[in-house]
Amino acid sequence: MNDVESLLEAQTTALLRRLGREQESRTRHIRDEAATQAADIVRRARVEARTRVHQAVVDTRREDEMALARRRAALDTQARRSRQATLRELLDRAWQALPAALQSRWLDATARERWCDAACMSASRSLRHLDRLQVEVDPQWLAHVGPLIRSRLEGPSKVDVTSSAGLGAGLRIRAGDACIDATVAGLLAARERIASELLAEFERQAAARRAERTR
């Protein structure tokens, strides 16, 4: 081998070694970049997975809360309707029982006197400015109620107590066109007011029962 061949072989060997080093460097660089990219992909995938899981939990919780709210609203509506139906039933039963209850009170002498006193007090407040009062009483009660009414109303006004067939329990006190109707029908005429008072009484009794149960 001459000098030229030796030189060419040395240069070729050096070139091959340099190419090998460059190839190894590029391979290592490509491998490092691939590893970095893979790590980034894994990290982003984990972040996205955690985000999706968190969002799924939030969505599930929101759906559960909405379902619970709907159920609670449905139960509240059902309870309200049930309460209204119960109150309506109580009112209907009360309205059916009131005429007989009032009739029973009128048959009791003490209660009848208080009934007449209340009617006379109402007349005294609103009708006594007129000189003449006319009181209507059922014929069967005229002898019992007439003297009581006169004792309560006579004074500045002249009081005429007359019988009115079919009037039943109670009395009417008239002065001109004005009238205090204290008959059973007259007392029950203010239906809305009586219904309000009955509802208030139902609520009071219900509250008393609740308080009793908590003791």
**At 111, is the pLDDT very low, low, confident or very high (cuts 50, 70, 90)?**
very high
In the predicted structure, residue 5 carries a pLDDT above the cut 70: no
Provide the token pair at 55. Answer: 């969002």
- Check residue 136 and give its pLDDT: 93
Asked if 184 and 169 count as a contact pair (C-beta separation under 8 A), the reply is: yes
> Beta strand 171-175 with 132-137: parallel, antiparallel or unpaired?
antiparallel
Residue 7 — very low, low, confident or very high, per pLDDT cuts 50/70/90?
A: low
Q: Is the pLDDT of residue 8 over 70?
A: no
Find out whether 160 and 93 touch, Cβ atoms under 8 Å. Answer: no
106 neighbors 115 (Cβ within 8 angstroms): yes
pLDDT, greater one: 113 or 8: 113
Longest pairwise C-alpha distance within the chain: 166
Q: Is the pLDDT of residue 74 over 90?
A: no
Q: What pTM did the predictor assign? A: 0.58
